[in-house]
Amino acid sequence: MNPNPVLEVNRKGKVLYCNPAALKQFPDIIKKGSAHPILKGFFNEQGKIENEVRIGDRWYYRPSYFVRGKDIKHIYCIDITDRKKAEEKLRDEHGYLQSLLNTAQTIMLILDTRGKIVDLNPYMEELSGYRLDEVKGKDWFDTFLPGHDHKRIRDLFKKAINNIQTRGNVNPILTKDGHEIYVEWHDKTLKDNNGRTIGLLATGQDVTERKKAEEQLRESEGRYRALVENASDQVFMFDEKYKIVSTNSAASMLSGKKPDEMIGKYISEIFSKETASKNIKNLEVVFKSGRNYYVEEELIIGANKLYVSTSLSPVKNSESKTTAVLGVVRDITKRKNAEEELRERERKLKTIFDVLPVGVSILDAKRKIIYVNPALERITGISMEGLFRGDHKSRKYLRPDGTPMPAEEYASARAVKEQRAIYNIETGVVKEDGSIIWTDVSAVPVKFPDWKVVIVTSDITKRRRSEEELQKSERYRMMGTFISGIAHEIRNPLVSVKGFFQLLNDRETSEKDKQEIAKLAVDEIKRVESLLDNLLNFAKPSKGESIDSDIHKLISDCIILVKHDASNQRIKIITQLDADPSQLRVDPKQVQQVFLNLSMNALDAMKNGGTLRISTSYLKDQNMISVTFRDTGCGIKQEYIPRLFEPFFTTKENGTGLGLSISQRIIENYKGKINIESKEGKGTSVHITLPAL
């Protein structure tokens, strides 16, 4: 019995016959005739017949033919529902695959069995720069692979075609513009319905960046390995059981074993019981805390005592669990010995400082005293506790001329600011009872971690008093010289006044003449008064105070005192006073003493007459006033010039050797300079510069 429906239908669509299968599947076929869906299209005007028709959820294939000699058509109805469903599923799968092929951000490539390109997806087009129509049918290996890779990749292709899977192979492909892209491939053999291999589906991921990263990582690892292997430090890696996972050659110096003899061994198998116990405790700290740990300790290796520093760092997994510990051990024996030597030197240095007769103090970066010796306590009259507390800051400090010294002029402040040694700054310290201690202070900046400046303080109170006495002695000596000269100057006007009084008493002198004589007498008396004033001013002791003074007035007053001696020695005094401004702040008595000393030296050098030129000028770029005393005397031997400012050094038979020394000290106290130029037989020039107001 035929399981498929069979029908006989005439040209008018009347069903003449149907088998049981037809009646079962189409129970109303006879009643409906040509109107039944199974007969749809057999009797349309165009005569077109659709061989396949859908009725409900079933599909039928309707082959038919006319019976020869009869107007009857035999129609067979074959149920093809299962086939249609399979085709529909295949179409859906094909559409999905095509969509996947077109949209996936993965390389998809289909090759035939000869390695010719059948298809590739848009992502591959974008990546390679080639369109499918440019490369379809071309040899994959010649088109996309570098020459050096042809053979290896062809061999892999042959394996894949022969059902040997090749997964994870990475090789470069060439893009259209010639640069290389690294791709990781996964292959699948394609077969037809008969199981014959018809090609290869290859999917790939662009792993160029990963490849570069891996290469960089390998290079980095190589550098790290080389660094570790060649490091002078000893490097160990320990696991959780305190086994040595890795180490370097330097570790042999500590253990006496080669790296391959230590790897895989417990720490207790390598080191002594005491050393192993110490290290295990240190490792436990890192494994438990997950933090870095640093320790310096003493080790006994054989007969040697070593100092080592150990840095332990945790090695963690992705879950932040410490799975190993990296240890770096450094031999610090030399450093420790050097530190001990330094401490010993510091102890010796402190001992030396403590017995020095001069005060020594050390300041830190905040200008706070961190060390003082007993001598400074004695000099300042402030206890060590008070100095550390900063009691010295409440004291007043003076310049050499007695004026207040601002903090920026302190030797220590200048040393730190100028980053150079500052020597011999004369500083007065006013004690609580008002008395003054005079000190000589030097300061040197240092670059130690906790030291910034070292200060040395000497008590020069007695020396300063002695110098003041010497200055007075020098002034008295000069006064003796001036008085003898001034005596002549006074005698002349007094003789004139005596004569004027005789004329005034003469009855024959007219009233008019008497008035003129009286006027002349008054002028002579004023001249005597002026000479006496200058002498008294010079003889009057200095108060040691700086006041605004005119340099030209000081020079003029000096000339008055020496011009008589100059005249007697046939010495001409010429002045060229061009300084403008000419004002400066000094103690006029002290500066006048300098000028008188230089003038008398010039006169002593010109026993047979000559010329003394005194000139001034203003140095604008330095804001200094320059004064020069230039004589035409005998000059000074060149070997004597470096010693001229030494106390008690003199080239005169009856000289004290103090004049120039005192003069230099006075000028330098006002932040000025004095220097001498001389040629034997040609004369001498003394140059002075002083700060202008």
The pLDDT tens digits for 406-442 are 989 999 999 999 999 998 899 999 988 888 999 999 9
172 and 185 Cβ atoms separated by less than 8 Å: no
What average pLDDT does range 266-289 have in this prediction?
86
Cα 589 from Cα 539, distance rounded (Å): 9
Q: pLDDT band at 562, cuts 50/70/90?
A: confident
Closest-CA residue to 64 (of 88, 92, 40, 33):
40
CB atoms within 10 A of CB 340: 11
Query: In this predicted structure, what is the pLDDT of residue 676?
Result: 93
What average pLDDT does range 50-55 have in this prediction?
82
204 and 127 Cβ atoms separated by less than 8 Å: no
CB atoms within 10 A of CB 342: 10
Tens of pLDDT, residue by residue over 607-639, are 889 999 999 999 999 999 999 999 999 999 988
- Could you tell me the two tokens for 654? 């009856």
Closest-CA residue to 233 (of 246, 250, 219):
250
369 and 387 Cβ atoms separated by less than 8 Å: yes
Query: In this predicted structure, what is the pLDDT of residue 161?
Result: 85
Query: In this predicted structure, what is the pLDDT of residue 30?
Result: 83
Tens of pLDDT, residue by residue over 323-363, are 899 888 888 888 888 888 878 887 887 788 787 888 888 88
Question: Between 512 and 446, where is the model more confident?
Answer: 446
Cα 540 from Cα 534, distance rounded (Å): 10
438 and 461 Cβ atoms separated by less than 8 Å: yes
Cα 612 from Cα 616, distance rounded (Å): 14
Cα 145 to the chain's mean position, in Å?
51
Tens of pLDDT, residue by residue over 213-229, are 878 877 776 676 666 66
Q: Which of 96-100, 552-556, 600-604, 646-650 has the lowest mean pLDDT?
A: 96-100
Enumerate residues 6+ apart whose C-beta is below 8 A from 654. Answer: none
- Could you tell me the two tokens for 37? 């869906």
> How wide is the angle at C-alpha 63 spanned by C-alphas 59 and 65, nearest 5°?
150
Query: In this predicted structure, what is the pLDDT of residue 618?
Result: 94
CATH number (3.30.450.20, 3.10.310.10, 3.40.50.720, 3.90.550.10) of 231-336 reads: 3.30.450.20
**What average pLDDT does the chain have?**
82
pLDDT surpasses 90 at 564: no
User: Which fold does the domain 460-533 belong to in CATH?
Assistant: Helix Hairpins (1.10.287)
Q: Give the E-state strand segments of 399-480 in sequence order.
A: 422-430, 436-445, 453-459
User: Is residue 307 classed as helix, strand or coil in its secondary structure?
Assistant: strand
Output phi, psi for 508, to 5 deg.
-80, -10
CB atoms within 10 A of CB 651: 15
pLDDT surpasses 60 at 658: yes
Q: The domain 104-212 belongs to what CATH superfamily?
A: PAS domain (3.30.450.20)
End-to-end Cα distance, the chain: 141
The tally of CA atoms less than 13 A away on the side-chain side of residue 502 is 6
Q: pLDDT band at 510, cuts 50/70/90?
A: low
Tens of pLDDT, residue by residue over 445-503, are 988 777 889 999 999 888 888 777 766 666 556 555 555 555 555 655 665 565 656 65
652 and 660 Cβ atoms separated by less than 8 Å: no
Query: In this predicted structure, what is the pLDDT of residue 541?
Result: 47
Sheet containing strand 197-206, edge to edge, reads 117-120, 107-112, 197-206, 180-191, 167-174
Q: pLDDT band at 656, cuts 50/70/90?
A: low
Cα 595 from Cα 483, distance rounded (Å): 17
User: Which fold does the domain 542-693 belong to in CATH?
Assistant: Heat Shock Protein 90 (3.30.565)
Tens of pLDDT, residue by residue over 10-28, are 877 788 888 888 888 888 8
User: Which fold does the domain 356-456 belong to in CATH?
Assistant: Beta-Lactamase (3.30.450)
* Beta-bridge mates of residue 630: 613, 685
Query: In this predicted structure, what is the pLDDT of residue 529?
Result: 62
**pTM given for the model:** 0.38
- % of the chain at pLDDT higher than 90: 21
Whether cis (ω within 30° of 0) applies to the bond prior to 581 is yes
pLDDT surpasses 80 at 575: yes
Tens of pLDDT, residue by residue over 375-402, are 888 888 888 888 888 888 888 999 887 8
User: Is residue 122 classed as helix, strand or coil in its secondary structure?
Assistant: helix
